[in-house]
Amino acid sequence: MGTVMSLPDTPDFDSFPVTRRPVAAETIPDGVRVRWDDGLESRFHVFWLRENAADPETTHPVTREQQLQLLDIPASLQAAAVRIDDDGALQVAWSTGETSRYHPGWLRAYCHEARSESSSLPPQRYWNAAAIADVPRFDGLQALNDPAAKTAWLTALHVYGVAVLENLPATPEVIETAPAAIGPIRPTNFGFAFDVVSKADATSNAYTAMTLPLHADLPTREYMPGLQFLHCLKNDAAGGESLLADGFFLAERLRALDPAAFDTMTSIPVDYYNKAKDTDYRHSTPMIRLNADGSFHEVRWTPWLRAPLDAPFETAGVVYRALRLLFSLAEDPANRIEIKLKPGDLLGFDNRRAIHGRKSFDPATGDRHLRGCYVERDELHSRLRILARQSRAAQSGSHG
Amino acid sequence: MGTVMSLPDTPDFDSFPVTRRPVAAETIPDGVRVRWDDGLESRFHVFWLRENAADPETTHPVTREQQLQLLDIPASLQAAAVRIDDDGALQVAWSTGETSRYHPGWLRAYCHEARSESSSLPPQRYWNAAAIADVPRFDGLQALNDPAAKTAWLTALHVYGVAVLENLPATPEVIETAPAAIGPIRPTNFGFAFDVVSKADATSNAYTAMTLPLHADLPTREYMPGLQFLHCLKNDAAGGESLLADGFFLAERLRALDPAAFDTMTSIPVDYYNKAKDTDYRHSTPMIRLNADGSFHEVRWTPWLRAPLDAPFETAGVVYRALRLLFSLAEDPANRIEIKLKPGDLLGFDNRRAIHGRKSFDPATGDRHLRGCYVERDELHSRLRILARQSRAAQSGSHG
């Protein structure tokens, strides 16, 4: 541990195991070139190195946020001399007379040439009924109290976009506490938490006893909620089974079956307006959105919150053809699963990926009462990273 | 009013004054062509008309959401016959034997050929110090209680991206009630509301007494908060003046001064990571984002929450050059305004447009205490539309 202890601080709260070591460094115009013990060469821009130094004048020692402003760095800055010191740290002597020293674990984690090695979330798996006959299920109290069990629950929620916690109390406050283990609950026009029961003066089709076709919530919001949780208090009415499908799987099927329809759905904006007395949210976006690498970012799947399409006549025909094909994929029983929530079950899903619905129920035969709330998707990503960080810290027994 | 009263319902809660009347209609393959009394011709796809009919089997009479699913409509649907009836409504006899009837005000509002006439928000005005010497100011109690005063306040907040309510109580609960007049407060890792005071164990540079350069909050979130409110409880320390600038104005200046740097800032992703013990939010996006029409959607301006840039060496040089130019525009006193908040002032601004900062203050000379919260931008848009709807309803004295 002697070598580790003399390594410089990093500008982060995380720990950075030294898996690869720099073996050589040289100055280049506007930068520094470093060679690593696995042969990788990485180049760092002088501004990049200077503004990410961990010394307390550059990085606030308490907040770890930058104190040095980019414009405080002379435009003419160059690295005058560089070397790898005995601890394996990169040392840079600047043209200004200052020096900076970089932790090799941190430097490797953030170098562009190997950035993908660090801190990525596990890959997602798209599913239909053949791939998962049931939702991933976890014991609720374990998942909320044990870090490893919590990691397993949240990893499933990320990978499959759906997971259930079982055996929680069937009491109304659970919806306000259990999802908050991930991050803050996001209030909406439906409130902080909302009750899914049949109401006479329903503000949404969800608050009736009718069949709810597969859909996502609140596509009318630019910031459509990322995670939805539904906690079951009662479910003894005849009917009311929950339906779930993977919107990313369905979008992938559309891409394979009809590339032109897929192009339509990823490029032509669809309009979503809510219908309510007190709110008038509007958002226009292609129904399927891709990440820069072509993977799926979001599917905004709420058939009945589409506003009258704002498109030329010919485009409307193209959009309707693609929409009908996409919706028909969700009608195929092979592409959906059906579960009946039990009192105490907490169903969570990615509302921008998984679509949900329910069969109609008969309020005369019993009660059906779910309580719901929303949490943002990036709270899940943050929580998974923090759990991984804590696991690394526990393994290494040291910080930085 | 006799003619109006016999018009069909619309599928919306809004009212639709009949400003233009259809004078002729004819069937076309897959659609209907309508000619209006101002000469406009509009074409409607059969699926568009069929799924937006206002009859109670298509549109739920209470929720006004669609009950008819798109796949319930036969793929072969055609309009068999159409006419404009004596009330000015479009009547369509479908090939299935059903008929639908459309309110001419609604039909005109939603036809693609004239869609921009309806429901648009007022245009935004970009500003520097010469354009607005001070922030738009409104009496707080009036703005919260009178619809016309509320509309004036929220319109300024939309148009300029900044507005102050004055003369509110300087009590802690105001931050939890006044912004909620727009829409739900969005909790974050900073809490439901947050206190901006100097703290020993600061989780952000905001919670120190140091100068805060111009910036936006929480750029590390995919869903960066849209509106920020800061309510002043005390401000008698020496220093602590608030600084404000219009990020859209600055971005527009960049576009004029250096189109290549502007292209860099609108196309190359910048990485934002937060630094905290308990959260690890990450988001990667170009710093300036445009709408489809080239107008500004968002400027994500937080110099010190940029993570180490993940870009090839040459790209890093290009990005740093553009960043330095953009940041230097914000340093020009001509491009920023300075105000000193008084106890009872509620400063609101678009956190994805306006950037804010403060001069350092000396905690030995007095107290500085602000309380803040966030609300989403589309809550503001929704509220402005509802206020306009209510104003139209008050003027027309009728609904639908």
- Can you tell me the distance from the alpha carbon of B15 to that of A88, in angstroms, rounded to the nearest whole number? 72
Q: Which residue, A374, A341, A370, is CA-closest to A164?
A: A341
Q: Are A279 and A191 in contact (CB under 8 A)?
A: no
What pLDDT, on the 0 to 100 scale, is given for residue B363? 85
Q: Token pair 């008309």 is at which residue?
A: B49
**Pick from B12, B210, B324: which is nearest to A71 by CB?**
B324
Cβ atoms within 10 Å, residue B1? 8
Closest-approach residue (CA) in chain A for B108: A308
Give the CA distances from residue B355 to residues B248, B303, B350, in Å, rounded to whole numbers and listed in that order: 10, 11, 8
What pLDDT, on the 0 to 100 scale, is given for residue A203? 65
First-to-last CA distance in chain A? 12
Q: What is the pTM of this model?
A: 0.94
Phi/psi for A244 (5° steps) reads -140, 145
Beta carbons of B376 and A223 less than 8 Å apart = yes
Give the list of residues 6+ apart from residue B121 with CB closer than 8 angstroms, or none.
Answer: B158, B381, B384, B385
Is the Cβ of A199 closer than 8 Å to some Cβ of chain B?
no
A97 pLDDT more than 60: yes
Handedness of CA A321, A326, A332, A334 (dihedral sign): positive
Q: Token pair 């003046």 is at which residue?
A: B241
Beta carbons of B66 and A378 less than 8 Å apart = no
What pLDDT, on the 0 to 100 scale, is given for residue A4? 47
Alpha-carbon dihedral angle through residues A115, A118, A121, A122, given to the nearest 10 degrees: 100
Is the Cβ of A375 closer than 8 Å to some Cβ of chain B?
no
Q: Tokens for B112?
A: 């693609």
Q: What share of chain A is helix, strand, coil (3-state, %, to 5)?
A: 30, 25, 45
What pLDDT, on the 0 to 100 scale, is given for residue A1? 39
Higher pLDDT, B99 or A133: B99
Q: Token pair 């491009």 is at which residue?
A: B335
Q: Are B227 and B374 in contact (CB under 8 A)?
A: yes
What pLDDT, on the 0 to 100 scale, is given for residue A65? 86
Q: Tokens for B135?
A: 């922030």
Per DSSP, what are the bridge partners of residue A245? A355
B30 contact residues in A (CB cutoff 8 A): 317
User: Would you place residue A212 in the very low, low, confident or very high pLDDT band (cuts 50, 70, 90)?
Assistant: confident
Amino acid in position B389: R
Q: To probe the interface with A, which of B27, B382, B384, B392 has the most A CB atoms within 10 Å?
A: B382
**Cα B30–Cα B34–Cα B38 angle in degrees, nearest 5:** 155
Phi/psi for A388 (5° steps) reads -65, -40
Flag the least confident range among A12-21, A164-173, B150-159, B247-256. A12-21
Coil, helix or strand at residue A329: helix
Beta carbons of A317 and B43 less than 8 Å apart = no
What pLDDT, on the 0 to 100 scale, is given for residue A400? 40
What pLDDT, on the 0 to 100 scale, is given for residue B400? 40
Q: Which residue, A184, A381, A177, A187, is CA-closest to B191?
A: A184
Beta carbons of A66 and B269 less than 8 Å apart = no
A:B CB pairs within 8 Å: 211
Average pLDDT in the A182-190 region?
Answer: 95
Q: Token pair 């009750």 is at which residue?
A: A195
Indicate the angle between helix axes A259-267 and A247-257, nearest 10 degrees.
130
**Pick from A64, A221, A324: which is nearest to B71 by CB?**
A324
Q: To probe the interface with B, which of A45, A295, A391 has the most B CB atoms within 10 Å?
A: A45
Alpha-carbon Rg for chain B, nearest whole angstrom, is 26
| Helix runs in A21-103, H state only | 46-51
Q: What is the DSSP letter of B95?
A: T
A208 pLDDT more than 90: no
Per DSSP, what are the bridge partners of residue B216? none
**Pick from A30, A269, A378: which is nearest to B221 by CB?**
A378
- Can you tell me the distance from the alpha carbon of B61 to that of B89, in angstroms, rounded to the nearest whole number? 20
User: What rounded mean pLDDT belongs to chain A?
Assistant: 93
Coil, helix or strand at residue B163: strand
What are A80-93's pLDDT values in tens digits?
999 999 999 999 99
**Pick from B60, B276, B311: which is nearest to A112 by CB?**
B311
**Pick from B60, B282, B316: which is nearest to A48 by CB?**
B316
Q: To probe the interface with A, which of B30, B115, B182, B378 has the most A CB atoms within 10 Å?
A: B378
Q: Tokens for A141?
A: 């109290």
What pLDDT, on the 0 to 100 scale, is given for residue B203? 65
- Full DSSP string of A214-274: EE-S-TTSTT--SEEEEEEEEE-SEE--EEEEEHHHHHHHHHHH-HHHHHHHHHS-EEEE-
User: Would you place residue A293 in the very low, low, confident or very high pLDDT band (cuts 50, 70, 90)?
Assistant: confident
**Cα B308–Cα B313–Cα B317 angle in degrees, nearest 5:** 85
- Can you tell me the distance from the alpha carbon of B92 to that of B26, in angstroms, rounded to the nearest whole number? 10
- Can you tell me the distance from the alpha carbon of A70 to that of A228, in angstroms, rounded to the nearest whole number? 40
Which residues of chain B fall below pLDDT 50? 1-4, 398-400
